[in-house]
Amino acid sequence: MDTKISAVADKKGIVTLKTIQHTLGKHTNLVTLVVLIVALGIMTGGRALQISSLQNLMVAEAVRAFAALGVGLIIINRGIDLSIGQVVGLVACVSASLAQTSDYAGALYPGTVFPVFLPIIVGIAVGTLFGIINGLLVAYGNLPPFIATLGTMSIAAGLQLIYTRASTIGSLKNEYKHIAQGSLGPLPYLMIYVLAAVLILWIMMTQTRQGKAFYAIGGNPQAARVSGINVKLNLLKVYALGGFLYGISGVLLSSRLGLANPLTGDGMELDAIAAATVGGISHSGGIGTIGGIFIGVFTLGIITFGMTYMGVDSYYQLLVKGMIIIVAVYFDMKRHAKRA
Amino acid sequence: MKKLIVAALVIMTAVNFTFAAGQQEAGSEKVTIGALIRNTDEQFVADYAENLKKLAAERGVDLKLLDSRSDQAMQLDQLNVLLTQGVKHFVIVPNVTEATEDMAKKIDAVGGGAAFSNIQPSVEALKVSPNFYLASSPESVAGQIQAQILDEYFQAHPEKMANGDPNAIDAIFLYGQLGHPAQVFRSEAAVKGLKDAGYTVNIVAEDTANWKPDEAQAKMDTWLAAYSGKFDVVIANNDGMALGAVESLLTNKYTDDPSDPTKDVDGDGTVLRVPVIGVDATGVAVKSMSEKKLFATVLQDAVGQSTTAFELAYMMATEGSATGKDAWGISPLTEVTGESPATDAAIVGQCYLVPFAAVTMDNYKEFMQ
């Protein structure tokens, strides 16, 4: 859909004002990100734009990026997922509970040594399971996605409180914490995971029949069905994939924090949906790219980072964030409306 | 995907351009203290932050105060940002005890230090270096004091236990956000304190009202319909919810004299049929006590905690160390106590305990603003 980028220059290789305007208009989300980065640079006299800042930003946004990629794909298929934050939190608690140091008296399973891969696998499995449940409810139960995932949001929150008895799961093994806290030279592991996920999903969405099916369903489910696409199965697949990505997000979050508690992941659904939306994913379905979601995540990230760097009161941060989401999406919608 | 590459290129170019500029940030003589604050939506934390700002203005300190909105991941990000800016000395109101060790290690890596308030740091966090301190009144003490106040109340008025099971305290609990450390520790300690005082505690109803008066009022309305005459006390994790419960009891005429809700007929100190108890001693709560509506509350000393923590950070920044020195007139502990982290002899000298105070009908006037 939106994957082909028009050349800046026209056929003769001459850059005209019109082509520049056209290109800028087509990539509002990227323009927004660049404008924000430049603005931050100017406002801090360039101090905010250091290598270490970039590392901080990458680390801060990586966990959210997985959640945004998951929900972004779901939104492309005309869905929505409100269960993200609570599922990520549940996954974080489950994976953390299997990664506690065995000599810690307050551990959920004191004295038991689990291999370090177990929390990763179980955590991702829990996320995927929730994705499958969401998918079944939406695709085969015909529940509106908003309602179905509102239900599973509450179920995940309840399970998390029951499982942890509302306490904090801490004292995680160093090997486990290393998964998200380590880095390869200047590159944090977290960033490598995100880039790998972006690459894989990008290939899926642009180079495979699966991706085409997702776009087709998002564009027009009836037409997709007529052209022989199994809409229900594909919807199940996209919610399951979303759950799988939240699973990764939850595991990375507990590893990064070195703990999990019932507040972990709280409210992440809003950040993830906002990031996907700012990244140009249209809620009417069928429109948006993986690269766009990635840009959306970092657009919101740079806002938070920049305001934190400048010491802006967090109350104002919420205000500014909200306004930027509205403005970015307004222009994006206008662009789509023009095209339609 | 091409967009992605373009974005990466732009970021990298911008970074390269300004890399040199970013290297030099320090150099000014002004003392800088970083303050990582859990969430200023909580009255205590808001008062704590306000006092820090006031102290910083008085001493000419550059205070970099950041609010994590109860999100530990955000608090870590904020710490990273301040460390990038060259900040070394911190005052921290953490989100969870278990996160304090990792935070201390990050700060120690740049040769800095921190004083933790409100949520206690772990023993391991204080063991990272002698430059990490506890400047707090642990949450559980608030619950203990609630229990002490209620013990005195039921000793003076044993007939008030007659609702429900006459040999037990039939309690209704209003919790803050579930899993929040203040919710967990205050509730546990209140129940434990009553049990330790020899009571049987029977929880008639319990639920979260997320710290909010309106949610608490709605909960209490429902419970009154179900449990009228079957409970002895309402225990709330904060004053906001306690006042919501008070409002519900008043509107439902659950008072000593339903025709005149200002009369304390039985002389137990409250016009309501049962005592309602909170934590925080906020201005409105003490005002409510002056009208004999709210029965009691517990003062967690925001000014005391923040001043102690600020002085510790300030001494570290100006004198290199705060070890063994008094802060806000409070001396470091010399002996271990039963409460973590002051349970470990190796770090007990890094613990500064700020006293809590019971606010009851006897002394509430001292806390009126």
So what's the ipTM on this one? 0.87
Using CA atoms, how far apart are residues A227 and A219, in angstroms rounded to an integer? 13
Contact between B239 and B281 (Cβ < 8 Å):
yes
State the pLDDT at residue A338.
Answer: 62
Each as own residue / partner, the long-range contacts of residues B340-344 (CB below 8 Å, 24 or more positions apart, any chain) are B340/B97, B340/B120, B340/B122, B340/B123, B340/B138, B341/B120, B341/B121, B341/B122, B341/B123, B341/B125, B341/B126, B341/B134, B342/B134, B343/B123, B344/B123, B344/B126, B344/B127
Nearest-CB residue to A56 (from B68, B69, B84): B84
Chosen from B98, B124, B184, B206 to mutate, greatest number of chain A CBs within 10 A: B98
Closest CA to A272 of A240, A243, A300: A300
Give yes or no for residue B16 having a pLDDT over 60.
Answer: no
Nearest-CB residue to B3 (from A30, A46, A177): A30
Give yes or no for residue B23 having a pLDDT over 50.
Answer: no
Using CA atoms, how far apart are residues A37 and A35, in angstroms rounded to an integer? 6
Using CA atoms, how far apart are residues B281 and B47, in angstroms rounded to an integer? 12
Residues in B closer than 8 angstroms to A164, CB to CB, are 179
State the pLDDT at residue B7.
Answer: 52
pLDDT tens for A269-289 read 999 999 999 998 988 889 999
Distant-in-sequence, close-in-space partners of B257: CB < 8 Å, separation ≥ 6: B263, B265, B271
Identify the residue with better confidence: A18 or A186.
Answer: A186
Q: 1.10.10, 3.40.50, 1.10.3470, 1.25.40: which CATH number matches A52-339?
A: 1.10.3470
Report how far apart the first and last C-alpha atoms of chain B are (Å, whole number).
60
State the pLDDT at residue B314.
Answer: 97
Give yes or no for residue B11 having a pLDDT over 60.
Answer: no
Using CA atoms, how far apart are residues B112 and B124, in angstroms rounded to an integer? 16
The domain spans of chain A are 52-339
Average pLDDT over residues B29-55: 92
Average pLDDT over residues A151-165: 95
Residue A48 C-alpha, separation from nearest chain B C-alpha, in angstroms? 7
pLDDT band at A12, cuts 50/70/90? low
Chain A contacts in chain B segment 63-122 (CB below 8 A): 64-74, 76-78, 80-81, 84-85, 95-99, 101-102
Give yes or no for residue B29 having a pLDDT over 50.
Answer: yes
Three-state secondary structure call for residue B136: strand
pLDDT tens for B133-182 read 999 987 888 999 999 999 999 999 999 998 989 989 999 999 998 877 78
CATH of region B140-299:
3.40.50.2300
| Kind of pairing between the strands at A183-184 and A187-188 | antiparallel
Nearest-CB residue to B3 (from A167, A259, A295): A295
Chain A contacts in chain B segment 202-231 (CB below 8 A): none
Residue A5 C-alpha, separation from nearest chain B C-alpha, in angstroms? 8
How many CB atoms sit inside 10 A of residue B262's CB?
Answer: 11
Residue A141 C-alpha, separation from nearest chain B C-alpha, in angstroms? 32
- Percentage of residues in chain A with pLDDT exceeding 90? 64
Nearest-CB residue to B3 (from A52, A167, A292): A292
Cis upstream peptide for B341 (omega within 30°): yes
Read off the amino acid at residue A175: E
pLDDT band at B20, cuts 50/70/90? very low
Read off the amino acid at residue A169: I
Read off the amino acid at residue A148: A
Do domains B31-137+301-354 and B140-299 share one topology? The answer is yes
State the pLDDT at residue A106.
Answer: 82
| Cα nearest neighbour of B41 on chain A | A315
Residue A221 C-alpha, separation from nearest chain B C-alpha, in angstroms? 26
CATH superfamily of B31-137+301-354: Response regulator (3.40.50.2300)
The domain spans of chain B are 31-137+301-354, 140-299
Nearest-CB residue to A63 (from B14, B73, B95): B73
Residues in B closer than 8 angstroms to A259, CB to CB, are 72, 96, 98-99
Q: Phi/psi of residue A18, each to 5°?
A: -65, -40
Tell how far CA A29 is from the center of its chain. Answer: 16
B202 bridge partner residues: B170
